[in-house]
């Protein structure tokens, strides 16, 4: 182990000054690792001026490095963030760096690992410290049939961690810490230039308590309206399997699965989804799973709490009507 490296650093992902919830989960787990090692817990957040940085200290950070400048957000964010975080890592030398395995985190972390010349383990579900003080990075492999335990020979030890694997850290306003302002550095020779930022689908499926997902059992894109209507009646969100996202039935933010979003709602309804391992990896930890499929041998039934063998075009309208009647009874 290289003694020059010390401390645990968490990347705080933010958008328009709002910190992504995965950050607080990383602060919880990162705090455990830092306590075991007897080192400080640090946060790096490239973000606009005026952010509520004290909240990161209240959630466990000992030091918060705030990287900002007027030019910083007019450049490709992954590239310019990587440039600035690399510079900070070279100065601070944390032994562990943690990133959320979000769409953005999965793009940012490998750039930093490559620049640092170190290894990186993606999509971890657990992290531990061994007797030598090294990080054990645990991640599922082979369609989650085994869990690989990985150690890095290089420093810093870097991991991306799946969202909703850990509880968020507890907020404690009595905590104190240091906020360090850093002037952001622009890219010297940017190969990509941001001409205009367009408003895109800012939908985040991960926060919903009810999700209704459609799969290949749907015959055409217009049939997603059935899924949408049931989700609306239940006060939930629309999800989708990778297959129908690829077909253009739904956009990427709605995709549930290993290459999409990992969700843990109280209720997950899978309509016309066979249950490929890739999809199950994203929703198997839901509170109650309801599967609707015309094939009684579909793998989705192996993990479902309630299985309905039937045509979704008959079952979904029945559930919609039942939900409407339940609302009327409640109002009455």
Summarize pLDDT for 310-331 with one digit per residue, the tens: 999 999 999 999 999 988 777 6
CATH number corresponding to 205-331? 3.40.50.1220
What pLDDT score does 4 carry?
86
Task: Report, as an integer, the average pLDDT of 4-19.
Answer: 93
Give me 142's structure tokens.
């082979």
Domain positions in the chain are 8-183, 205-331
51 versus 213: the higher-pLDDT residue is: 213
The candidate with the shortest Cα–Cα distance to 205, out of 260, 274, 146, 279, is 260
Q: Is the distance from CB of 213 to CB of 269 less than 8 angstroms? A: yes
Q: Is the dihedral of CA 198, 108, 239, 235 positive or negative?
A: negative
Angle at 260 between CA 255 and CA 261, to 5 degrees: 85
60 to 28, 194, 212: CA distances (angstroms)? 7, 35, 35
273 C-beta neighbours (distance < 10 Å), count: 30
pLDDT digit string, tens, across residues 212-260: 999 999 999 999 999 999 999 999 999 999 999 999 999 989 999 988 8
- The CA-to-CA distance between both ends of the chain, in Å, stands at 68
Helix (H, G, I), strand (E, B) or coil at 143: coil
* 121-126 contacts, C-beta under 8 A, 24 or more apart: 121/150, 121/152, 121/158, 121/159, 121/160, 122/159, 122/160, 123/160, 123/161, 123/162, 124/159, 124/160, 124/161, 124/162, 124/165, 125/161, 125/162, 125/165, 126/165
pLDDT computed for residue 70 by the predictor? 67
pLDDT class of 1 with cuts at 50, 70, 90: very low
pLDDT band, very low/low/confident/very high, at 49 (cuts 50, 70, 90): confident
**Same topology between domain 8-183 and domain 205-331:** yes
pLDDT value of residue 16: 83
Classified by CATH at the fold level, domain 8-183 comes out as Rossmann fold (3.40.50)
Q: What is the pLDDT of residue 94?
A: 97
pTM for the whole thing? 0.81
What kind and span of H or E run contains 15? Answer: strand 14-15
Mean pLDDT check: name the lowest of 19-33, 87-101, 249-263.
249-263
135 phi and psi, to 5 degrees? Answer: -80, 125
| Mean pLDDT of the residues in the chain | 91
- Average of pLDDT values for 149-163? 94
Q: Mean of the pLDDT values across residues 84-92?
A: 96
197 pLDDT higher than 70: no
What average pLDDT does range 121-150 have in this prediction? 91
> Confidence class of residue 137 from pLDDT cuts 50, 70 and 90?
very high
Q: How confident is the model at residue 287 (pLDDT cuts 50, 70, 90)?
A: very high
**What is the percentage of the chain residues whose pLDDT exceeds 70?**
93
Q: Mean of the pLDDT values across residues 14-30?
A: 94
Res. 200 pLDDT band, cuts 50 70 90:
low
């Amino acid at each position: 182990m290289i003694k020059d490296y010390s401390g645990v650093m968490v990347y705080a992902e933010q958008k328009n000054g709002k910190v992504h919830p995965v950050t607080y989960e990383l602060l919880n787990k990162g705090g455990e690792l830092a306590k075991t090692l007897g080192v400080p817990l640090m946060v790096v957040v490239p973000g606009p001026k005026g952010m509520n940085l004290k909240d990161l200290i209240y959630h466990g950070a000992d030091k918060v490095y705030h990287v900002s400048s007027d030019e910083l957000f007019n450049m490709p964010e992954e590239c310019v963030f990587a440039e600035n975080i690399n510079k900070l890592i070279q100065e601070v030398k944390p032994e562990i760096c943690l990133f959320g395995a979000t769409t953005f985190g999965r793009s940012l972390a490998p750039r930093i690992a490559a620049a640092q010349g170190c290894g990186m383990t993606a999509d971890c579900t657990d992290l531990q410290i061994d007797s030598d003080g090294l990080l054990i990075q645990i991640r599922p492999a082979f369609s989650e049939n085994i869990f690989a335990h990985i150690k890095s020979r290089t420093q810093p030890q870097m991991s991306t961690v799946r969202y909703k694997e850990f509880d968020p850290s507890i907020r404690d306003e009595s905590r104190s810490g240091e906020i360090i302002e850093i002037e952001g550095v622009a890219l010297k020779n940017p190969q990509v230039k941001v001409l205009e930022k367009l408003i895109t689908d800012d939908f985040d499926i991960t926060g919903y308590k009810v999700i209704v997902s459609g799969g290949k059992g749907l015959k055409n894109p217009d049939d997603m309206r059935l899924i949408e209507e049931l989700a609306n009646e239940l006060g939930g969100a629309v999800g989708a399997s990778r297959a129908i996202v690829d077909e253009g039935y739904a956009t990427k933010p709605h995709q549930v699965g290993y290459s999409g979003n990992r969700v843990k709602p109280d209720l997950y309804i899978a309509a016309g989804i066979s249950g490929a391992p890739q999809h199950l990896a994203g929703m198997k930890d839901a509170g109650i799973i309801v599967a609707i499929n015309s094939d009684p041998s579909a793998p989705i039934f192996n993990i479902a709490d309630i299985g309905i063998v039937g045509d979704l075009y008959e079952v979904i309208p029945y559930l919609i009507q039942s939900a409407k009647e339940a609302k009327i009874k409640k109002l009455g």
